[in-house]
A and B are shown apart, each in its own frame.
Chain A
Amino acid sequence: MTDLTHLTLTEARDALKARRISATELTKAHIAAVEQARSLNAYVLETPEIALAQAAASDAKLGRGEGGPLEGLPLGIKDLYCTKDVRTTACSNILRNFVPAYESTVTSQLWRDGAVMLGKLNNDEFAMGSSNETSAFGAVVNPWRRSGSNVVAGAGGVEGSHLVPGGSSGGSSAAVAAHLCLAATATDTGGSIRQPAAFTGTVGIKPTYGRCSRWGIVAFASSLDQAGPIGKTVRDCAVMLRSMSGHDPKDTTSVDVAVPDYEAAIGRSVKGMRIGIPREYRIDGMPAEIEKLWQDGIAWLKAAGAEIVDISLPHTKYALPAYYIVAPAEASSNLARYDGVRYGLREQGRDIADMYEKTRAAGFGREVKRRIMIGTYVLSAGYYDAYYLRAQKVRTLIKKDFEDVFAAGVHAILTPATPSAAFGIGEKGSADPVEMYLNDIFTVTVNMAGLPGIAVPAGLDPQGLPLGLQLIGRPFDEETLFALSEVIEQAAGRFPIPSRWWS
């Protein structure tokens, strides 16, 4: 029998419905794969008992011809999503022992629809990072290796200088690519779904701001954070997103708009659709393979009947600097709650202020501390107008750039997902944090404007590593993104991991 972990989410769904496999065997296959892949460090907590109990319940339902859209399908959950009675840390020492008494809205919808939880996935601390290197649980190993790489499975773990899986949803992208779950939840504040998907040959969609409830997801920057899935295929992501989406009265920014059947959008004709190619995304020093990837994407969409138009998004270059004011400002406010009083770590101090300062110094990692301090500075008296207010005005202009293009009849925008393939651990950002931040140059505009964006694998670089294209859509038009990205997926083929070298 073929390895059940190599099925896609929708293949597994169909096999379960047809009773060709059981949820229990599917789940056991994944639990074994997770155990054999501990050296990748994708999971920070494995929950096999929960998974097997859920799988047994799913088998009972499927046996009666019942079951939800995700019945019996094993998933990984980013450790930013609160899971009732299951430790949730945001991969920070300050929440190392936090056990929520409640379930995030998005995960509760996954369980409502029958999904099975394999465990909690690694991420950058509080989702602040682009490489998963800031996690308190350590870095995640990208299951992809450069051709001729020295990375091997040793007795004590992975040896050699491995690649990063992207971030902040690096555990999610690595787990999906390595077949350690059928699909995973992720979150995206500046590119944290799309960039790791691009680095691992997987598909990731950040839906429109307000599409998924943020309730019960550890907050980083509330006006930018959105939940979304990482999956093996476009179709898998469509099925996941339908279950994750929907209005939630507990999140005031959650939008009360009906959730379409995203899977039905796949295969829909893209003939006559106008696809914008923004000239500002053609950055200096862009590698030739990224340019080629982009041209390939243009050719594939053209061949499917889409019309390609050159467009301009004049404020593109200001998105990243504006983001690095808005996101730290919101983070400094959101993370004020970690005070050593209500939950999380506490370090003793001589008085309450000293207790706060020692607790936060011990509990937060360096990246988080720096962002809180920058946020505190840009919001402080005398600097608010110069930094924060100006950045929010620039954000209005960035959003208007997109609105103008959509008003002119463009249905979606095609760009590269990242400026390069996955890089090596420790290679970026040690001297200057901005070097790491530049990874999000193509994705961050989308968060600033609240738009949906999908990353789909489209080719390999000369070292054999996957590269992704990004499609950006109109607000609440994820369906068009699914239709278009499936055209790319059909043309480019899928990019499964070449070998399970780690097990």
Chain B
Amino acid sequence: MKLLLATLLLFVAIESSAQVRLPPQRRMKRDSLIEHGLPRLDPRQVAVRSFLGQIEHGIITSSLTSSSAHFASQVLVNISGGESGYFSSNQVLSVLQNYFSGRKPVVFHFSRFNDQGSAPYATGRLTFVNKGSQESAQIYVSLEHRDSRWVISQFNIY
């Protein structure tokens, strides 16, 4: 009985430390942003575009908010008519989930992006269904390089 109890305690303790586990590294994948026939890109540009592709895919499939690994430790979020301010990577997941919970994405792709400089960004128009009617909003995403990977540092919806 005591061993069972100790095992239970161990289980609880391990679960309680789950929050501080490092997020799993996702494999980067090539995506539609890397167009064929264009001049050769440097590895940095490739990485940026690849990550932007992941974001694009994540927004359409509503999987962007499945992990805080996509976001910087502090993210500036600006939602027109909604939240505005700096949020932690954990909090931004719920903020965006809350936004997308009533808005089912239909179409989205980054129409403009800038993969140069230390803070590349991309913007695109999202079409979604809200309460039965189709609406749209513009999404702006800015990236920064942290701990050898790209993360989202700003996420605006206007």
A, B in one complex = no
